[in-house]
Amino acid sequence: MKKFNKFMFKLIRNGIICCLFVIIVSFLYVKLSPTLKINTANNLIFYDNDGSVFFKGNESKEWIGLEDISDDLINATISTEDKHFYKHFGFDFLRILKACYINIKSGDAVQGASTITQQYAKNLFLDFDKTWKRKWSELWYTLRIEANYSKDDILEGYLNTINYGHGKYGIENASKYYFNKSASDLSLAEATILSGIPKSPANYSPLVNYDLAKKRQLNILKLMVSNNYITEKEMLEAYNTKLNFSGNSDKEELTTLMYFYDAVIDELETIDSIPNTYTDISGLKIYTTLDLDAQKQLEKNIEESIPKNSEIQTASVMMNPQDGGILALVGGRDYNKSSYNRATKSMRQVGSTMKPYLYYAALESGFTTSSSFTSEATTFSFNNQEDYTPKNYNDTYGNKAISMAAAVAYSENIYAVKTHLFLGEEALINVARRVGITSKLEPVPSLPLGTNEISIIEMAAGYSAFANLGYKVKPHLIEKIVDENNKVLYQSKKEKSLVLNSSLAFILNNMLTSTYDVNFIDYNYPTAVSLSSKLTHTYALKSGTTNGDNWNIGYNSDVLCAVWMGYDDNRSLNTNEYKYSQNIWYKSIEAYEKDKDNNDVWYKVPKNVSAVFVDPISGKPVTNDVQKKKLMYFIKGTEPEISDPVFDEIISNDIQT
């Protein structure tokens, strides 16, 4: 027993010596390391495509001293975030142990233990990856901050850089935004509302969820009482004080602009030439592809097209199809109410917007604008598989042969499935992959009807290959990044590669104008015929509809606009709601093209393409003196003839009706 006690004594003694050695070495390391520039966190300046600033991070004029910040705000922050802030050296070990115990007991990470210094260190990073390497770096930054700065310096920096929601970083920005006053003039009631926001800006902003913000305020007031900052009487008075929120800043605000900002930050994190932390730079100037007028129009049209009391959501992207530059981006109706970016993160069923990939594959395989299948109720039978019976919208069928152009106009499901099976189920996938669609695509009969899920930004990039006559482009928001000395750290390469036949893309684009062409009114109506009198320019346009999704994607050579509409909980859309997406689309793209000549933005006929007057429904050639005709385009040598067969007649043994 004595030997065991002696062994344990040596083990503990050696352990203590090792710990002391590590602490001393660590302290010397952080003391001898270069002093961190802790006032550079979030020091980013964003420029639009005209070179005008549309977002500023922390600049000298926004940074205020601790003495100019309300004592109530300071005390509220310390009470709720780190009550032992002035007593520890960056880490609150008792709080860490308590948090670990609570989390283990609950089986979930319900309580954190980060100190103000740790949170400040975290804010020095451009990204928030939860990797061990990142955590280890954060630990060392915490020690370096504590070793080189006073507690007041750290607290001042923290309050000037944290996120208070709605794109407002720093307490001075937040005070002016929420209450139209300086941080020095905040009352106890105002201070405790603001100090509760950083924990979760999307939830605790009083402009987003007032009731939740008040609950958070009450908890903070109780903590201030327990920490002897205020009395219970002051607590009750502050809680019951009626607050008047401004919700404005000294410049024009777009509620959707922060979706663009968030997407830029996401892209910023993927660029290897940019330092991982703000401590390696004094600031960044980020030049983006944003067209502020386009963003304003998109937001305006969303507000005007959707009833204010509706819970329906939207995602919209406007893109330069020639290089993939994103001109405008909306990830939801109002960033103040939901910061989830549906444009970049949400995957939704795309409906019939999948069909252009199929019809390009058909053109590439020898089909023409006039190639015909019979529009009729059809059941497809497969060996060792269940029968498949797709239906047209409203069960409407022509019961006659129709051209591919007519199938596009009506968004015929029967024609699409017949084409899909005729070509083979990999043909559509092959084209989608070539233009940049990376989402999972199943080679099943229903694939051209859009049962797969794809993000709107991915669909916009895919359609850009049609809009620019065959080139795959990468969607991007950042053109150039420079440091404070105007040294270029990154320049967009705008790489593009030819993946489609330009002449076939031209033919497809002209077919997609049939969706709003009155010449196609017959047994059915073109899907967007209501726009025929509203559009002043020519566009290729395709809509897509599922029970819970509505899409409109349209373009010319100058701009592409994609709009999705639906509910976050996937509930079904009603008939009236299908018009919202279409209205947003046409108003936004028309506003963008307002002062441009249609001849400059639509496509010139390629030399190997001929134009022929055909019957728009059957696709058969007609003479010039017939009443109903449509000028359609064909690769020279493939022009239609009266004797051309209907494909059903060729493959009738494979299709049972």
Is the CB of residue 555 less than 8 Å from the CB of residue 539?
A: yes
CB atoms within 10 A of CB 485: 7
Beta strands in 79-122 (DSSP E): none
CA dist 407 and 508 (Å) reads 12
- The H or E element containing residue 120 is helix 116-123
Catalytic (active site) residue 81:
yes
Is the CB of residue 188 less than 8 Å from the CB of residue 72?
A: yes
The whole-angstrom distance between residue 370's C-alpha and the CA centroid of its chain comes to: 38
CB atoms within 10 A of CB 253: 15
* Pairing assessment for the beta strands 326-330 and 313-319 based on DSSP bridges: antiparallel
CA dist 470 and 147 (Å) reads 58
568-598: string of b/e by CB count within 10 Å (b at 16+)? eeeeebeeebeebbbbbbbbbbbbbbeeeee
CA dist 546 and 202 (Å) reads 30
CA 17, 19, 21, 23 torsion: positive or negative?
A: negative
CA dist 630 and 511 (Å) reads 11
Catalytic (active site) residue 352:
yes
Three-class SS string for 559-592? CEEEEEEECCCCCCCCHHHHHHHHHHHHHHHHHH
CB atoms within 10 A of CB 519: 17
Binning the chain into helix, strand and coil, the percentages to the nearest 5 are: 45, 15, 40
Residues 6+ apart with CB under 8 A from 355: 408, 411, 416, 448, 450, 542
Which of 305, 339, 352, 403 is catalytic? The answer is 352
264-283: string of b/e by CB count within 10 Å (b at 16+)? beebbeeeeebebbbbebeb
The whole-angstrom distance between residue 343's C-alpha and the CA centroid of its chain comes to: 3
Determine whether 234 is exposed, middle or buried from the number of CB atoms within 10 Å of its CB (0-12, 13-18, 19+): middle
* Residue spans of alpha helices (H) in 124-209: 132-148, 151-161, 171-179, 188-195, 201-204
Which of 81, 156, 172, 299 is catalytic? The answer is 81
By annotation, the residues acting in catalysis are 81, 352
